């Protein structure tokens, strides 16, 4: 094990940004390695065998120990570096609420990422097709999740109470991508005022702007109609396509 960990990521990835901001917020020492998702470096079998059988990022290397999945990485870092208790909970019940959100997130709000991916990245990988079904699926999951989260935030400033936790960063960075791609219309945001207030609160944190710089630039490129050159062949999103899970390298089947 090492006093400095190696963080393998890409700044367009929502889960990567959540972990990245967590490390910056808590002064965790790390070495940064950008994994080129655009050319499909993570799709190569050698990469999967060495780091992550799904080919996804983020990945954390601590000496010879390798862990993937953003929530697992952040939980590991929380214990290794003994960060302030608010990030994963000071009491058994607070820890349970943080974990409750992280489990919910991975099966709901995270699945809404398809609305952003199929609106802006799919054409860069597979060319012009009718992605409306995938976008519709992503939006349905996204709006349903926003409704649940709005109720969740009814009695607290943050997801797990009145202090920020990793649960907030995990959720916040999903919405950053949707904001970068102008996926959520103002009329929809108005339906979920607590979510909007929560999002704006985290956006004002000192590290948020820096961590989000690349995805905001990429979003603007796509809004301007510019394609992003990619030679990868599989989805960047998890479980949002109509065929496959998004974690086993299944190309788009249209």
Instruction: Provide the CATH number for the domain around residue 135.
Output: 1.20.1050.10
- Is the residue at 33 inside a domain? yes
Alpha-carbon gap, residue 50 to 197, rounded angstroms: 41
The residues facing 68 across adjacent strands are: 59
Q: Are 113 and 74 in the same domain? A: no
Same domain, 132 and 165: yes
Higher pLDDT among residues 212 and 249, named by residue: 212
Are 105 and 63 members of one domain? no
Residue-wise pLDDT for 48-64, tens only, equals 999 999 999 999 999 99
For residues 21-34, average pLDDT: 98
Among the three residues 43, 59, 84, which one is the final residue of a domain in this structure? 84
Residue 205 falls inside a structural domain: yes
Q: Is residue 110 domain-shared with residue 14, that is, in the same domain?
A: no
For 147-200, what is each residue's pLDDT tens digit?
999 999 999 999 999 999 999 999 999 999 999 999 999 999 999 999 999 999
Asked if residue 207 and residue 117 are part of one domain, the reply reads yes
Q: What is the CATH classification number for the domain harbouring 43?
A: 3.40.30.10
Q: What residues make up the domain containing 47? A: 5-84
Q: What is the mean pLDDT of the chain?
A: 93
Query: Do 105 and 201 belong together in one domain?
Result: yes
| Residues 44 and 121 both lie in one domain | no
pLDDT in tens, 98-155: 999 999 999 999 999 999 999 999 999 999 999 999 999 999 999 999 999 999 999 9
Domain assignment of residue 142, yes or no? yes
Helical H segments across 5-131, by residue range: 14-25, 45-50, 70-81, 92-107, 114-120, 122-126
Model confidence, pTM: 0.94
The Cα 167–Cα 18 span in angstroms is 9
CA dist 86 and 95 (Å) reads 9
CA distance 82 to 66: 19
In a domain, 51, yes or no: yes
> Is residue 67 one of the residues assigned to a domain?
yes
Residue 231 is assigned to a structural domain of this protein: no
What Rg, from alpha-carbon coordinates, does the chain have? 18
For 62, the 3-state DSSP assignment is: strand
Please give the tally of structural domains in the chain: 2
Assess whether 52 and 105 both reside in one domain.
Answer: no
Q: Is 177 exposed, middle or buried (0-12, 13-18, 19+ CB in 10 A)?
A: buried
Does residue 167 sit within a domain? yes
At 240, list the tokens: 């949002």
Last residue of a domain, one of 57, 84, 111: 84
* Same domain? 105 vs 195: yes
Domain end point (choices 51, 84, 117):
84
* Same domain as 219, residue 172: yes
If asked whether residues 137 and 33 sit together in one domain, one would say: no
DSSP state of 161: B
Does one domain contain both 52 and 150?
A: no
Residue that is written with structure tokens 């699926």 in the block: 137
30-34: strand order across its sheet: 30-34, 5-9, 59-62, 65-68
Any domain includes 58: yes
Average pLDDT over residues 93-98: 96
């Amino acid at each position: 094990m090492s006093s400095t960990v190696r963080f393998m990521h890409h700044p367009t990835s929502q889960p990567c940004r959540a972990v990245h901001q967590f490390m910056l917020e808590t002064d965790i020492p790390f070495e940064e390695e950008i994994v080129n998702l655009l050319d499909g470096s993570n799709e190569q079998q050698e990469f999967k065998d060495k780091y992550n059988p799904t080919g996804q990022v983020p990945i954390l290397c601590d000496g010879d120990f390798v862990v993937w999945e953003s929530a697992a990485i952040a939980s590991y870092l929380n214990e290794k570096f003994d960060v302030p208790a608010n990030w994963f909970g000071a009491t058994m019940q607070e820890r349970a609420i943080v974990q409750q959100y992280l489990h919910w997130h991975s099966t709901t709000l995270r699945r809404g990422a398809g609305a952003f991916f199929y609106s802006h990245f799919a054409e860069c990988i597979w060319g012009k097709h009718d992605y409306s079904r995938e976008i519709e699926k992503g939006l349905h999951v996204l709006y349903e999740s926003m409704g649940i989260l709005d109720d969740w935030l009814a009695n607290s400033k943050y997801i797990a109470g009145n202090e920020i936790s990793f649960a907030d960063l995990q959720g916040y960075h999903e919405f950053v991508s949707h904001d970068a791609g102008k996926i959520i219309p103002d009329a929809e945001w108005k339906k979920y005022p607590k979510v909007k207030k929560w999002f704006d609160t985290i956006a004002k944190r000192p590290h948020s702007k820096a961590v989000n710089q690349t995805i905001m630039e990429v979003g603007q490129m796509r809004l301007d109609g510019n394609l992003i050159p990619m030679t990868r062949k599989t989805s960047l999103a998890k479980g949002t396509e109509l065929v496959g899970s998004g974690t086993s390298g299944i190309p788009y089947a249209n």
